[in-house]
Chains A and B, each alone.
Chain A
Amino acid sequence: MTTPGEPEAPTVPHPALWAVLYRSSTPFWEAVARHELSLQRCSGCKTWLMPPRPMCPRCQSAESEWVPVSGRGKIHSWVTYPESPHPAFEAPYSVILVELDEGVRLVSNPSGIAPEELEMDMPVEVVFEDVSDDFALYKFKRAG
């Protein structure tokens, strides 16, 4: 019998596969799967919407467009996990917050940058890694 203190040994999918639960974000992930970075923008007042959403918080318009972006930006903040909370991630690993040139911020992982090399405002650009046949992740490497 199950007791609450002792959960079943879980078969854990990669956390990436938890994504795309909301329809609003589907176009974003579909573009990433094609190795493109595309962001949602309000058709009315041209506000960038990240995370994606069905309505613009500035003008309450429900019309939006998906705009390909360069994928260039700089590091706005980062954290490093000395111990992994999940088997899919090997510690130590870092999570970065990237501010894109468009002003939108994305959480991601550094690609080819060791935790101790990370610096505030380091210029980075997007790269893509396939997770499965139809799902990819965006990461950021040092800008060339």
Chain B
Amino acid sequence: MQMLEEYRTKSYRNDLRPPVDANLVKDKTAIVGIGQTAYSRNAERDELDLACEAIKKAVDDAGLTMADIDGLEALTLDRVSMPTLIGSLGIENLRFTSEVSFGGGGACALVMHAAAAVATGAANYVVVYRALNEASGHRYGRGDGYAEYLTAAPTLHYGYYFPYGFLTPLSWAAMYTKRWMHEYGIKLEDTGWYSVVLREYAQNNPDAIFYGKPLTIEGFHESPMISAPLRLYDCCVDTDGAAAVIVTTADRAKDMPHAPVYIAAAAQSSPIETEIQTSYNRPIVAGLPETWYVGQELYRQSGLGPADIDVAQLYDPFSYGAMIQLEELGFCGPGECVDFCLGGDRIRVDGDLPLNTSGGLLSEAYIHGVNLVTEAVRQLRGTAYNQVADAETAIVTAGPGLPTSGLILRK
């Protein structure tokens, strides 16, 4: 076995993948409803409550009733138990449920798994949701929570990190980011534009956590260093909230209240030697092979390329996590993403590649990437707060640096 040979040689093997004409997801499935709660720093409600509201709104948005729903897709990380959720929503019989692990890496896989279910008749209308109280409740991303309930690392591989005070996803990511900066000679003073542009987007989005709180490039560079090279404003915004989408078949979608947003491609990738942000024993640490695989598969299925994409929603747990994806997805060359974002014009709403137009996870909300899917849907419906003119295709990705997933959506 040649480990990650396709990635190392940048030669994607179409012959290893199922033929595109056998793919029942491509163009045959669609997103027909979206819903979300208010995004806040403290919802004063639990995740079950938030999930119910977002799902109800998505069902309403699709012009359906709860009785139509027969599929449910959740992240394994979600604290809401499925039976409890089903009991609150009053869904009589779910014909299909599945869960996706890998945290934020599963955000688009949720949609993909739902699409596979409707494409094969396993269900008619599948709800995809994520609810979390990341701001006010238990924080996945913080080191201080662990001491309260752990005495030892929970798995074999974490045993090589946790005893060394190395137990937060952002610090794990800082490790590969630093290596990437080293290999490509990135200068810290050139960074920050990504965060600034996303904050600009948030100023037009009243749902965004950072609505009404603009950020200048100077303000960015004055923000505290969390863990070099990551500053406070490189990092996503802990949020309480929930978002949901409804997936069905393309033919059902035609007769629904909103113009359908078709799934032109859906992909998931878990490359070998990948861990959750600690994939330090892959041949290349300064890169995101999972994003490259997802990108290649999305382009193979859709027949589109980077030049065909009108707007991108790239999962940004921290700025570099989104920016390096620009390289892996072919929007710029290796080591060029900081230049790509320099000054911000290319990623603004009238730029070459409008990026994370709701403010993304940095400035809108951190709903584990399901809010990037909803923003892509709004762009293709033409109802976004920062609407890209004539947007017809959107790419959406899930968490970088761990097994991930992605979608290409089209009008």
Q: Does A132 contact B (CB under 8 A)?
A: no
Number of A residues, CB within 8 Å of B? 15
- Over the window 79-94 of chain A, the binary record of Cβ atoms lying under 8 Å from chain B Cβ atoms (1 yes, 0 no) is 0000000000000000
- C-beta contact mask, B113-131 vs A, less than 8 Å → 1, else 0? 0000000000000000000
Q: Counting CB contacts under 8 A, is B88 at the interface?
A: yes
B-facing residues in A50-82 (Cβ within 8 Å):
51, 53-58, 60, 62
User: When A53-B48, A54-B48 are in contact, do A62 and B53 touch as well, CB less than 8 Å?
Assistant: yes
CB-contact partner of B52 in A8, A55, A58, under 8 A:
A55
Q: For B152, give its contact among A2, A57, A60 (CB under 8 Å).
A: A2
Residue in B closest to A54 when the chains form the complex, CB atoms: B49
Number of interface residues, chain B, beta carbon within 8 A: 16
Residue B77 CB within 8 A of the other chain: no
Q: B48 contacts which of A24, A57, A58 (Cβ < 8 Å)? A: A24
Choice from B46, B88, B151, B152 contacting A55 with Cβ under 8 Å: B88
Contact with A along B38-49 (1 / 0, CB 8 A): 000000011011
Query: Known contacts A2-B152, A8-B151: does B90 contact A56 (CB below 8 Å)?
Result: yes
Min CB gap B50→A, angstroms:
8
B90 touches A23 (CB 8 A): no
Q: In whole angstroms, how far apart are the Cα atoms of A101 and B377 in the complex? A: 49
**Interface presence of B66 (CB below 8 A):** yes
At the interface, yes or no: A18 with Cβ under 8 Å from chain B?
Answer: no
Residue of B nearest to A53 (CB): B88
Judging by beta carbons under 8 Å apart, are B56 and A23 in contact? no
Among the interface residues A2, A22, A55, which one has the most CB atoms of the partner chain B within 10 A?
Answer: A55
Q: Are A24 and B66 within 8 A (Cβ)?
A: no
Is B384 an interface position by the 8 A CB rule?
no
Known contacts A2-B151, A8-B151; A57 and B46 CB within 8 A of each other = no
- The answer on a CB contact under 8 Å between B53 and A53 is no
A56 to B87, CA, bound (A): 8
Q: Would you give 25 A-B contacts (Cβ < 8 Å), ordered by A?
A: A1-B152, A22-B46, A23-B45, A24-B46, A53-B48, A53-B87, A53-B88, A54-B45, A54-B46, A54-B49, A54-B88, A55-B49, A55-B53, A55-B56, A55-B88, A55-B89, A55-B90, A56-B90, A57-B88, A57-B89, A57-B90, A60-B56, A60-B66, A60-B90, A62-B56
Q: Residues of A with Cβ closer than 8 Å to B?
A: 1-2, 8, 22-24, 51, 53-58, 60, 62
Q: A24-B48, A62-B56 are in contact. List 8 more A-B contacts (CB 8 A).
A: A51-B84, A54-B52, A54-B53, A55-B52, A55-B53, A55-B89, A60-B66, A60-B90
